[in-house]
């Protein structure tokens, strides 16, 4: 994601297409939480809202055209509360904190 944006960078589309294939090839996975994260720069409330929009955008992408059944997914934004790099100082470290993670929350 670009700084302050929730639109998926087109370079991520092949990766998300692969995520959809993996999810669909594992029916034993009941539900997956898509977790949105931001870096710590800016207002925490704004970042939390942004992270929720990012997670929802990924969920929309995965469910578009029936790729993944929406009942198997949920979106949740955590803002800057769970950084990969807590003391991020470089642009690469901040960029790594702006991410989406997939967490299996229910197996069948």
Would the pTM count as exceeding 0.85? yes
Residues 58 and 66: their CA atoms lie apart, in Å, by 14
Query: Residue 65: left (phi > 0), alpha (psi -120 to 50), or beta?
Result: left
Burial class (CB in 10 A: 0-12, 13-18, 19+), 19: buried
Per-residue pLDDT of the chain (108 residues; tens, 9 = 90+): 777 888 898 999 999 999 999 999 999 999 999 999 999 999 999 999 999 999 999 999 999 977 899 999 999 999 999 999 999 999 999 989 999 999 999 877
């Amino acid at each position: 994601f670009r700084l302050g944006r929730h639109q998926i960078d087109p370079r991520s589309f092949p990766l998300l297409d692969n995520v959809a294939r993996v999810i669909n090839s594992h029916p034993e996975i009941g539900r997956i939480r898509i977790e949105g994260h931001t870096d710590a720069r800016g207002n925490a409330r704004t970042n939390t809202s942004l992270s929720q929009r990012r997670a929802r955008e990924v969920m929309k992408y995965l469910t578009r055209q029936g790729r993944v059944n929406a009942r198997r997914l949920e979106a949740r934004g955590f803002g800057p509360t769970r950084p990969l790099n807590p003391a991020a100082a470089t642009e690469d470290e901040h960029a790594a904190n702006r991410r989406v993670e997939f967490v299996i929350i229910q197996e069948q």
